[in-house]
Amino acid sequence: MPDFISFDNAINGGGPKPPGVVSFKVTWEATGPAVVNDVPTKRFHGEHAAALAQMEWSGRAGDFEFVSRPIATSSSPSGALLGTQRTGSFY
């Protein structure tokens, strides 16, 4: 993953883009039954369950390394959804 150094470089390019490495570990666990939401007029069909999500990550670019806290300390206070959906031509 390129490290664009600054927002301007990410948008306009042209500046240095040293390589970076990122790693994510994410777990999801449904906490209830799936709820079906079918809206034919909008060509949308979804089946989603409330869930808990946890994540840890690390990143490295040049001499800099960043590491999150362990996954066990992570939470999804605003809630997460786990499920499937179909829209548009896949409806």
DSSP letters, 32-75, are S--EEEEEGGGTEEEEEEEEEEEEEEEEEETTEEEE---GGG--
pTM beyond 0.85: no
Domain boundaries in the chain?
7-90
Q: What is the mean pLDDT of residues 4-19?
A: 84
Q: Would you say 81 and 32 are in contact if contact means Cβ atoms under 8 Å apart?
A: no
**Each residue's pLDDT tens digit, 60-89:** 988 999 999 999 999 888 889 999 999 999
